[in-house]
């Protein structure tokens, strides 16, 4: 019984030791997209890699580049759910007229694990 409690305690601590957030920076460089710093807004979307459903959204008005972001449970689309990973990360820039002018994805468009704090997203023009 003591061994079971010890193993259960160890597993519980390891499961909850993961930092339930993802952080990083959105960059804008070498792009033909018309982005004016301090105007518009950035949306950083965290998506389920299997369904591409948006799980959480970081919304920031008046960005300056490079722009830091952190996605936590506060950013969940469905407030009754939990944040889980890995997640695909995508950023979108909307100008002050609310028109999408630039988009980017995390490096190599690979899913990102929870707890990662150095995700880099480069915004580029739309195709």
CATH of the domain at 66: 2.60.40
73 domain residue, yes or no: yes
Greater pLDDT, 75 or 28: 75
13 domain residue, yes or no: no
pLDDT at 125: 85
102 domain residue, yes or no: yes
Local confidence band at 19 (pLDDT 50, 70, 90 cut-offs)? low
112 domain residue, yes or no: yes
pLDDT at 117: 94
Count of structural domains, the chain = 1
49 domain residue, yes or no: yes
Residues 6+ apart with CB under 8 A from 117: 22, 23, 24
Per-residue pLDDT tens digits for 65-120? 999 999 999 999 998 888 888 999 999 999 999 999 999 999 888 999 999 999 99
| Coil, helix or strand at residue 114 | coil
2 domain residue, yes or no: no
1 domain residue, yes or no: no
5 domain residue, yes or no: no
Residue 90: which domain range? 19-125
Print burial letters for 23-61: b (CB count within 10 Å at least 16), e (below 16): bbbbbbeebebebeeeebebbbbbbeeeeeebbbebebe
Per-residue pLDDT tens digits for 29-69? 766 667 777 899 999 999 999 999 999 999 999 999 999 99
Measured distance between the N- and C-terminal CA atoms of the chain, rounded to whole angstroms:
61
| Coil, helix or strand at residue 127 | coil
pLDDT at 12: 43
């Amino acid at each position: 019984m003591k061994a079971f409690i010890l193993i259960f305690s160890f597993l519980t601590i390891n499961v909850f030791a993961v930092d339930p957030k993802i952080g990083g920076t959105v960059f804008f460089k070498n792009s033909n997209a018309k982005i004016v710093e301090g105007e518009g807004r950035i949306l950083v979307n965290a998506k389920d890699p299997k369904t591409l459903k948006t799980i959480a959204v970081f919304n920031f008005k008046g960005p300056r580049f490079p722009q830091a972001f952190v996605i936590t449970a506060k950013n969940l689309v469905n407030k009754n759910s939990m944040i889980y990973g890995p997640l695909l990360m995508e950023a979108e820039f909307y100008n002050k007229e609310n028109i999408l002018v630039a988009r980017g994805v995390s490096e190599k468009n690979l899913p990102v694990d929870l707890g990662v704090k150095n995700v880099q997203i480069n915004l580029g023009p739309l195709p």
